[in-house]
């Protein structure tokens, strides 16, 4: 079912410093910051040959990233995103396997304008997993 690793999302306390580090120390191709108010984040995309890294900084009052950074003030890996062909089928299969889907269980439109869902980290080795219909 799962396909490519679409991205690894890293929450950072200082987006400017983090993107400068990826650009200047790792010599990576980094985007300008993109505000995503619907998701409560500002994102910098780091393009790698085989996947992407998304540097996330909280945007707005009740950003889901803010709580994470309270627990991990230096930043940390927030989630990994795997691609699937059919998100509805993936959702049904995972729920039949006992995995919990965050929110109301229905896929929603994610940061890349594609349907996504998130699996409960307690069911996946302490890792928040995003599935995206590629």
Q: Which residues are catalytic?
A: 130
Does residue 81 bind Co ion (CB under 5 A)?
yes
Cα 90 from chain centroid (whole Å): 18
Does residue 84 bind Co ion (CB under 5 A)?
no
CB nearer Co ion, residue 83 or residue 130: 130
Does residue 65 bind Co ion (CB under 5 A)?
no
The contacts found for 117-125 with CB under 8 angstroms, 24 or more apart, are: 117/87, 117/90, 117/91, 118/79, 119/94, 123/98, 123/99, 124/99
Does residue 130 bind Co ion (CB under 5 A)?
yes
Using CA atoms, how far apart are residues 74 and 71, in angstroms rounded to an integer?
9
Does residue 129 bind Co ion (CB under 5 A)?
no
Which residues within the stretch 5-34 sit at the binding site for Co ion (CB under 5 A)? Answer: 9
| Stretch touching Co ion by CB under 5 A, among 21-29, 37-45, 56-64, 125-133 | 125-133
24, 86 contact by CB (below 8 A): no
**Applying CB under 5 A, which residues contact Co ion?**
9, 81, 130
């Amino acid at each position: 079912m799962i396909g490519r690793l679409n991205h690894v999302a890293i929450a950072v306390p200082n987006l400017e410093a983090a993107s400068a580090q990826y650009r200047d120390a790792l010599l990576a191709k980094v985007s300008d910051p993109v505000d995503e108010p619907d998701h409560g984040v500002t994102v910098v995309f780091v393009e790698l040959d085989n996947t992407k890294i998304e540097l996330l900084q909280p945007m707005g009052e009740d950003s889901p990233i803010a709580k994470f950074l309270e627990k991990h003030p230096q930043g940390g890996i927030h989630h990994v995103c795997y691609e699937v062909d059919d998100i509805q089928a993936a959702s049904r299969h995972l729920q039949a396997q006992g995995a919990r889907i965050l929110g109301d269980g229905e896929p929603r439109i994610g940061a890349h304008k594609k349907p996504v869902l998130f699996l409960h980290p307690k069911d996946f080795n302490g890792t928040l997993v995003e599935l995206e219909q590629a």
